[in-house]
Structure 1
Amino acid sequence: MIWEQMLPMKWRILIFLPLLFISSDASGAFVGINIGMELTDLPSAKDVVEILKSHHVTHVRLYDADRHMLNALANTGIEVMVGVNNEELLGIGKYPAAAADWVNKNVVAYLPETNITAIAVGSEVLTTIPRVAPYLVWAMGHLHRALVATNLNFQVKVSSPHAMDIIERPFPPSTATFNPKMNTTMYLFLQFLKNTKSFFMLNAYPYYGYTTGNGIFPIDYALFKPLAPSKQIVDSNTALRYSSMFDAMVDAAYYSMEALNFSGIPVVVTESGWPSLGGSNEPDATTENAEIYVTNLIHRVLNNSGPPSQPQIPISTYIYELFNEDKRPGPLSEKNWGLFHTNGTAMYSQNLITLDMEEGNSSDGVLFCVAKQGADESALEAGLNWACGPGKASCGAIQEGQPCYQPNSLQSHASYAFNDYYQRMRSSGGTCDFGGTAMTTPMDPSHGSCIFTGSSSSHSGRVITPLTAYGPVSPTSRGLTLQNSWIAFYIPAMVFLLQLQQ
């Protein structure tokens, strides 16, 4: 049965209203890092943040809303994704008051000093705790409503990370679909993302795709290494060529969404990495492979292109993870995904973290604040007026006849003003937000004779940004582990989702 046919016509019309998708611009892709805390000698939150700052990390994901980390991240400009534990999800899904309380305690209490921009609701819920699956979208909706009530819904997006095994037969990508047992929840989930202009969170691990693939794919394909012409991976249905398993996994998610008639929802990879050590039965978990994978992953993300079917949508990615977590259960590889020792030194090669980019301007470690592509024009104009007025940004360069007047666009002028304010005020608590219309980037937006505040103006140097499938789920999911009583749940949930548009 086609689910939307169960709904009155006026609801169906609302459901399929075109999505106003906010796409990334050329400098929009970022590499972030996951911060797990299941290790014996966990540094203090202050020391963790010093490590992040020393390596110019711009985005982090926390698996919870640890108050010590959130306080330590204050006034750093680092964009933070906080997490709702799987154990908390059921209560938040049942009770709107619990969601409001969670948002007040774990988001509102830290803004604007701590730059919280996303909430990850649970971790791989559909595959690890299916009995809670019907409450996932309710929990997301309740949290979104709480953000609306505090006027934070444009700044803080809500989504939930999924493992690759929600997708049946992910190769070839063009035939990929979500597990049909999950279709009802996935339809509601995607409708929520569309209504709230959020993004699809995917945990993509070519390590597992390769090690459980029984030799179907070469290891070079998993490690982003060039393939010989005779070993090229091609989707026979589309003739699209896949140079890496990572790209194929992301495309499988896009095609799975398309199979449910959803498009334009960007995929953000919330976890990806490679273990540097494994047991005797894990021969591919080596330092060499981990270094190759993470180095190539960072290069792949920072080229700002999407997968073959969606080349215009960059694949922002969080590397798994900051430190090895020796207290994690499971095989030896489970404990060895870290990029850094707890003293801040790199786990393998310092070149992982300092990347010489052949193309594009460099910020030499500086973060710039620019307007988001597709941001609401009225909000953008309000932000520009505030920056050049009460914010005391120096806006002379964007006046007619001055070096930054061209291109004469609201997007360009707002970027210059936002960045000038951010560079001048960051040390005293100024943030790159402007009502959710701005974002930080390590790429220097200077052009021609228009030099942005903070630029070295040389257009050379380094981009320094450490960042974070087939087969089993990603490293053991953090949390609890429905029966198919879907129909009674579906109709009221759809009504709730439609109300989010109002």
Structure 2
Amino acid sequence: MGDKNMSPKRAQGVVMLLMLMVFNVSGAFVGITIGTDMSKLPSATDIVSILQDKKIQHVRLLDSDHQMLTALANTGIEVMVGVPNDQLLRVGQSRSTAADWINKNVAAYLPATNITYIAVGNEVLTTIPNAALVLVPALQFLQSALLAANLNTQVKISSPHSMDMISKAFPPSTATFNSTWSSIMFQYLQFLNNTGSSFMLNAQPYYGYVKGQGVFPLEYALFRSLNPNSRIADPNTNLFYTNMFDAMIDATYNSIQAMNFTGIPILVTASGWPWLGGQNEKAANVDNALAYNSNLIHHVLNNSGTPSQPNNQSNTYIFELFNEDRQPGPVSEQNWGIMFPNATTVYSLSFEDVVTTIPESPALRGTFCVANSTAPHSALKHSLDWACGPGSANCSAVQPGQPCYKSDDIVAVASYVFNDYYHRTQGSGGTCNFNGTAMITSTDPSKIHFSL
């Protein structure tokens, strides 16, 4: 839908639908992270109501807020709690402190609150390296406390790492962890192997794209289709990568294997895209955030795995539910949320197939959404890419060789696609706007452009 940033006011009105159906029959799921670094956080009961309204079944808390844990009781929502970095030293230096932490923040809420994971610290090795030596002891002390409380089968323990742990992530087949941390990473992987826990990875293609400074195309970061001639291949395996997310996961799998461990699954504890950035953060905009997260959801839930691990799906937590306006750093750091703290939606995410689940509204008969013929062709192409990708419009009829394909008339093709999208989604909040490249009309576009 174009590359221009949207104002917060306009973004609120993009679409008021947010449906996160966060698991499917195979067990692969997409959950969401809740950060709290904001000036006005909704109440715990309001947050849980939002989760239930959106049918979100997996949530990652960055701490162990007791109000949230109480509000989540008897909802069935699976909860990951966190040991914040500022508590890590105490937990990692004292077995009794770790036991106390488990008793107060986990055992006290089970079984009513469905706590299934503890994330110990966050990106410890790359952000607070002085705490590196207590990371594995913290994991071990907490695990001992779980065993003592007979909770070790219900609750697993791990610690999230960033991609900065891998010095050179591409090509994935030669990726290895930074040798500075070899000893600690070996102990960490041994802990995961012994306890049946997952490697927690914060996989953020936004940072990979920005740091790459043009090495990788934006489409690759956003899961958008690449021209067959520009597919990205690992020269050592001849595996083709259509998106950066898969490449990050495979780089992590290969780094794990380089340390002689296999069978440790990867759990993506944070992945998302900022919807607003500063003047020098052009990639942070609503359209890209919507494209990334909706494509990510589709990718995870369709069980495709990765090129090197086709049978291993990585459950993923989207980062994040709310914008965190107190986050330091550039403008983008405060704008990863899919909702504003006042519970209005920044942009829509849906896991449902609108083709089969949302019937056309009778009120729309005789109303059509068509391309604005005065819009620049480049803008129409952006809108088409969005509609046929994240927008889930049925674009089969406008493919080459099909009855509505017109290679020399992008306005006709866009009109067909925009109208299809609008009629399928209007009942659930879909609009006929496409960043100003579309408009409502009472004239059937097929009568003008196509002889159907």
Q: TM bucket by the smaller chain?
A: 0.7 to 0.9
Note the 1:66-215 alignment, pairs <5 A: 66-215=65-214
- Aligned letter for 2:276? L
Q: Which runs of 4+ in 1 moved over 6 A?
A: none
Instruction: Tell me which residue corresponds to 1:231.
Output: 230
- Aligned letter for 2:222? L
- SS of 2:30's equivalent in the other structure is coil
CA distance in 2, matches of 1:167, 1:320: 21
CA distance in 2, matches of 1:171, 1:116: 35
Deviations 1:205-236 (A, max 9, x none): 10011111021110000000010011101101
Deviations 1:307-366 (A, max 9, x none): 1111111110000000001111111000000011234332113xx13431889xx9xxxx
Instruction: Tell me which residue corresponds to 1:58.
Output: 57
Query: How many percent of aligned residue pairs carry the same amino acid?
Result: 60
1:283 aligned onto 2:279: no
CA distance in 2, matches of 1:346, 1:144: 39
CA distance in 1, matches of 2:243, 2:25: 21
Q: Closer, same or farther in 2 for the Cα pair 1:137/1:151, shift >3 Å?
A: same
**Equivalent residue for 1:356, pick from 353, 358, 371:** 353
What is the deviation of 1:305? 2.8
CA distance in 2, matches of 1:42, 1:200: 30
What is the deviation of 1:190? 0.1
CA distance in 2, matches of 1:290, 1:320: 11
Note the 1:292-331 alignment, pairs <5 A: 292-331=291-330
Q: Which has the higher contact order (CA 8 A, sep 6+)?
A: 1
Q: Closer, same or farther in 2 for the Cα pair 1:258/1:100, shift >3 Å?
A: same
CA distance in 1, matches of 2:241, 2:263: 21
Given that residues 203 and 271 in structure 2 are in contact (C-alpha distance below 8 angstroms), is that contact kept between their aligned partners in structure 1?
A: yes
Deviations 1:223-276 (A, max 9, x none): 000100111011010111111000000000000000000111000100000000
CA distance in 2, matches of 1:344, 1:85: 25
CA distance in 2, matches of 1:309, 1:26: 23
Q: Closer, same or farther in 2 for the Cα pair 1:244/1:122, shift >3 Å?
A: same
Instruction: Tell me which residue corresponds to 1:32.
Output: 31
Deviations 1:406-464 (A, max 9, x none): xxxxxxxxxxxxxxxxxxxxxxxxxxxxxxxxxxxxxxxxxxxxxxxxxxxxxxxxxxx
CA distance in 2, matches of 1:346, 1:355: 17
Instruction: Tell me which residue corresponds to 1:10.
Output: none
CA distance in 2, matches of 1:311, 1:96: 40
- SS of 1:32's equivalent in the other structure is strand
Given that residues 24 and 301 in structure 2 are in contact (C-alpha distance below 8 angstroms), is that contact kept between their aligned partners in structure 1?
A: no
What is the deviation of 1:139? 0.3
CA distance in 2, matches of 1:354, 1:258: 33
- SS of 1:250's equivalent in the other structure is helix
CA distance in 2, matches of 1:354, 1:117: 24
Instruction: Tell me which residue corresponds to 2:252.
Output: 253
- Find the structure with the greater CA-based Rg: 2
Given that residues 297 and 351 in structure 2 are in contact (C-alpha distance below 8 angstroms), is that contact kept between their aligned partners in structure 1?
A: no
Q: Give 5+ residue unaligned stretches, structure 2.
A: 1-22, 358-452
- Aligned letter for 1:74? A
Give the root-mean-square deviation of aligned CA atoms.
1.7
Instruction: Tell me which residue corresponds to 2:243.
Output: 244
Normalising by structure 1, we get a TM-score of 0.65
Q: Closer, same or farther in 2 for the Cα pair 1:54/1:26, shift >3 Å?
A: closer
- Aligned letter for 2:247? A
What is the deviation of 1:26? 6.1
CA distance in 2, matches of 1:114, 1:135: 28
Instruction: Tell me which residue corresponds to 2:388.
Output: none
Given that residues 323 and 337 in structure 2 are in contact (C-alpha distance below 8 angstroms), is that contact kept between their aligned partners in structure 1?
A: yes
Note the 1:383-394 alignment, pairs <5 A: none
CA distance in 2, matches of 1:357, 1:253: 34
What is the deviation of 1:40? 1.6
Given that residues 119 and 157 in structure 1 are in contact (C-alpha distance below 8 angstroms), is that contact kept between their aligned partners in structure 2?
A: yes
Q: Give 5+ residue unaligned stretches, structure 1.
A: 1-23, 363-502
How many residue pairs were aligned? Answer: 336
Normalising by structure 2, we get a TM-score of 0.72
Given that residues 26 and 304 in structure 1 are in contact (C-alpha distance below 8 angstroms), is that contact kept between their aligned partners in structure 2?
A: no
1:271 aligned onto 2:270: yes
Given that residues 275 and 290 in structure 1 are in contact (C-alpha distance below 8 angstroms), is that contact kept between their aligned partners in structure 2?
A: yes
CA distance in 1, matches of 2:182, 2:236: 23
Instruction: Tell me which residue corresponds to 2:442.
Output: none
